[in-house]
Chain A
């Protein structure tokens, strides 16, 4: 799953630790999500969406190609 966490974080000039603090998770978890090595749970995705005031699909995108 692709995500825009790194971009959204950079726009706000937040470090990974800052974002981790705001989402109440470890910095390692933010790093793993940003690198696409770990997909967050739905509650954590909702929490991120609330934090950035965006919809979940504006932050996280399925990387499976849609059939044309």
Chain B
């Protein structure tokens, strides 16, 4: 069980949630910079593109750390809810992602399999699984 000092559970969780939200936002902005920077901001400058890629990677690593801190600060029920949601998301992502890749390699779909579709599937699955898990314990 995660232990907290006295009555600061809510404050601690709020602080860690806010930190996670900020780093997620920073990571998203850096992702947009990598994708749109070369065409809209700095053109053919490869050095700036490399800097944007490295910054995106670093922000992503900090976001993962912030997520770990957030999860460790939640109580045992919240951790179980997150575990259930993430487990379902991982399973659906793995099975769905590989099935989608199979459709591409066997040419059963006309276009190429896009990683963005997998990310959208995992995001949607996580939200639905999280809501279902929360309702399970209400």
Binding site for B on A (CB under 8 A): 20-22, 24-26, 28-29, 31-32, 37-38, 40-41, 43-44
Interface size class of B (residues with CB under 8 A): 20 to 34
Q: Are B1 and A28 in contact, CB atoms less than 8 angstroms apart? A: no
Question: Within the assembled complex, what's the spacing in Å between the Cα atoms of A20 and B12?
Answer: 14
Q: Are B1 and A38 in contact (CB under 8 A)?
A: no
Q: Count the A-B residue pairs with Cβ separation under 8 angstroms: how many?
A: 50
User: Complex formed: what's the CA distance from A28 to B133 in Å?
Assistant: 12
Interchain CB contact under 8 A, B1 and A41: yes
Contact (Cβ within 8 A) B1 A37: no
Known: A29-B76, A44-B76. A24 touches B9 (CB 8 A): yes
Distance in Å from the Cβ of A15 to the closest Cβ of chain B? 13
